[in-house]
Amino acid sequence: METKDLEPKVLDAFSSQLKGELITPQSDRYDMFRRVYNAMIDKRPAMIVRCENVADILYSLEFGKTHDIPIAIRSGGHNAAGLGIADHGIVIDLGLMNGIQVDLKFNTVRVEAGCLLGDIDHALAPFGKAFPTGIFSTTGISGLTLGGGFGHLSRAYGLTIDSLLEADIILADGRLITTDHHNFPDLFWAIRGGGGNFGIVTSYLFELHPAGKIHGGPMLWPIEEARHIMPFYRDYILKAPKEIYCYFAFLTVPPVSIFPEHLHLKKMCGLIWCNLGSTIKSNQALEHFRNFKTPVLDYVDFMDYYHLQSLFDALYPSGLQWYWKGAFIKDLDKDAITKNIAFAKLLPTPHSTVHFYPINGACHDKKNGDTAWGNRDANWSQVIVGVDPDPTNNNKITHWAKSYWEAIHPYSLGGGYINFMMDEGQDQIKASYRDNYDKLQKIKQKYDPKNLFRINQNIEP
């Protein structure tokens, strides 16, 4: 569908229904609004609706259905595969819907679907509260939550979906409903990990947890030390107290002034910490590693959780080229470690990186079948990230990420986090949901039999 295929009076009538703005290819700001975080994505939608309220979403959904236009839903626009936007589609853009209501009486926060993580962290910071989300404040809460969500607080409090109490959602038939453990419980099960397959979420209610001052930041060693640090880290984090969190990373030190010049552009391995609770326990954890091998960079300090959440934003601004792949890892045996280090030494560009996010601790309090997120038995969610500002390096970063992933695939549980996927296709989506896929498919048949919501890691009805 192109907007030129629609009569001007049809578009005018649609536009006049909206409180928000209708952007078409004829609009001056079309190129600005069709952009997403990953600059490798270059899609040309038929129109973008910058919704201001639920009514705008309902009118847009109806318009898309009436004119048979593919429907894409964009909240934070951070999805690396670009699934918040579609060629020839109508983009229902929720970015302006970013209201937040903190309720200290019930220890909850209601969050509109267009919020970025930074909006939420900012609103909660004065109260020293949070719930687990991701590690970059520029990510959207919607795509992250619907895919499962994890970050610095996940060993303490679980996945993002484990703090989700209810969601308001517009179904394919146009109904606006509230789903929770008691109302539409099958749908509530499905949206906790099943992505944007089941409707358009307009707001979420989350439970809050204590997260004021934390002990956090990076600790780095030369990549040559990874053969010692990685197994030491593995053994430690599998048994660590829940309030201790650190993810393992391979990275290149950015050539910026906050890092010592002699380390600039050196390949490293490291831990990024976020310890809650007792300072004594946190110090014990840090000393455990410092005594094992002295880090060449040690920036771990007391800070507000809010501060840690945006610490790395500036290193990865919007507009870089991204290609990434994910894997769920249960065991990191000697062979797996050797393979990882071999590929990490080949990090193709300074922005490219590899992270192992621990998803044990409180994430293991639930079982694989309790929510749609079917990988509770994994200990890490690994992401292999090829990034560079220069599009001429796209083949280089893509080839490295793919061959790294192939090499470690035998050591994984088969699938990967759907929010760390590109366009791997149906087999990999099924492998990622494992035993939960059949149930997800039945729920999809019930709520979206015509697959109206298909611009996502799609569960085919």
Ligand X SMILES: Cc1cc2nc3c(=O)[nH]c(=O)nc-3n(C[C@H](O)[C@H](O)[C@H](O)COP(=O)(O)OP(=O)(O)OC[C@H]3O[C@@H](n4cnc5c(N)ncnc54)[C@H](O)[C@@H]3O)c2cc1C
Would you tell me which residues interact with ligand X (CB under 6 A)?
A: 37, 73-80, 83-84, 94, 113, 134-136, 139-140, 142-144, 146-147, 149-151, 195-196, 200-201, 316, 419, 455-456
Work out how close the CB of 401 gets to ligand X at its nearest, in angstroms, rounded to a whole number: 14
Closest to 226 measured CA to CA, from 244, 249, 260: 249
Dihedral, CA atoms, 155, 158, 160, 161, nearest 10 degrees? 160
Between 236 and 316, name the residue whose CB sits nearer to ligand X: 316
Between 344 and 387, name the residue whose CB sits nearer to ligand X: 387
Work out how close the CB of 186 gets to ligand X at its nearest, in angstroms, rounded to a whole number: 17
Between 6 and 325, name the residue whose CB sits nearer to ligand X: 325
Work out how close the CB of 141 gets to ligand X at its nearest, in angstroms, rounded to a whole number: 7
Work out how close the CB of 152 gets to ligand X at its nearest, in angstroms, rounded to a whole number: 8
Q: Which residues contact 354 (CB under 8 A, 6 or more apart)?
A: 249, 250, 251, 340, 343, 344, 347, 382, 383, 384, 385, 404
Whole-angstrom CA distances from 347 to 342, 343, 396 are 10, 7, 10
The one-letter amino acid at 164: L
Between 123 and 161, name the residue whose CB sits nearer to ligand X: 161
The residue of the chain with the least Cβ separation from ligand X equals 143
Between 6 and 146, name the residue whose CB sits nearer to ligand X: 146
Between 200 and 372, name the residue whose CB sits nearer to ligand X: 200
Structure tokens at 93: 């853009």
Work out how close the CB of 308 gets to ligand X at its nearest, in angstroms, rounded to a whole number: 12
Closest to 86 measured CA to CA, from 127, 44, 53, 49: 44
Work out how close the CB of 283 gets to ligand X at its nearest, in angstroms, rounded to a whole number: 26
Between 190 and 201, name the residue whose CB sits nearer to ligand X: 201
Is 204 in contact with 111 (CB distance < 8 Å)?
Answer: yes
Is 397 in contact with 384 (CB distance < 8 Å)?
Answer: no
Work out how close the CB of 97 gets to ligand X at its nearest, in angstroms, rounded to a whole number: 9
Between 6 and 61, name the residue whose CB sits nearer to ligand X: 61
Residue 261 neighbours by CB distance under 10 Å? 8
Closest to 76 measured CA to CA, from 137, 121, 21: 137
Is 368 in contact with 377 (CB distance < 8 Å)?
Answer: yes
Work out how close the CB of 219 gets to ligand X at its nearest, in angstroms, rounded to a whole number: 19
Between 6 and 115, name the residue whose CB sits nearer to ligand X: 115
Residue 438 neighbours by CB distance under 10 Å? 10
Between 110 and 281, name the residue whose CB sits nearer to ligand X: 110
Helix (H, G, I), strand (E, B) or coil at 229: helix
Structure tokens at 70: 């593919």
Q: What is the CA radius of gyration of the chain?
A: 22
Instruction: Bin 65: left if φ > 0, else alpha if -120 < ψ < 50, else beta.
Output: alpha
Paired with 204 in beta bridges are 111, 167
Closest to 341 measured CA to CA, from 267, 280, 254, 271: 267
Work out how close the CB of 85 gets to ligand X at its nearest, in angstroms, rounded to a whole number: 7
Work out how close the CB of 337 gets to ligand X at its nearest, in angstroms, rounded to a whole number: 23
Work out how close the CB of 352 gets to ligand X at its nearest, in angstroms, rounded to a whole number: 13
Between 76 and 461, name the residue whose CB sits nearer to ligand X: 76
- How are beta strands 71-74 and 90-93 bridged, if at all? parallel
Work out how close the CB of 309 gets to ligand X at its nearest, in angstroms, rounded to a whole number: 10
In 88-148, which ranges are continuous DSSP H helix?
A: 117-124, 141-147
Between 226 and 387, name the residue whose CB sits nearer to ligand X: 387
Q: Which residues contact 189 (CB under 8 A, 6 or more apart)?
A: 371, 372, 439, 443
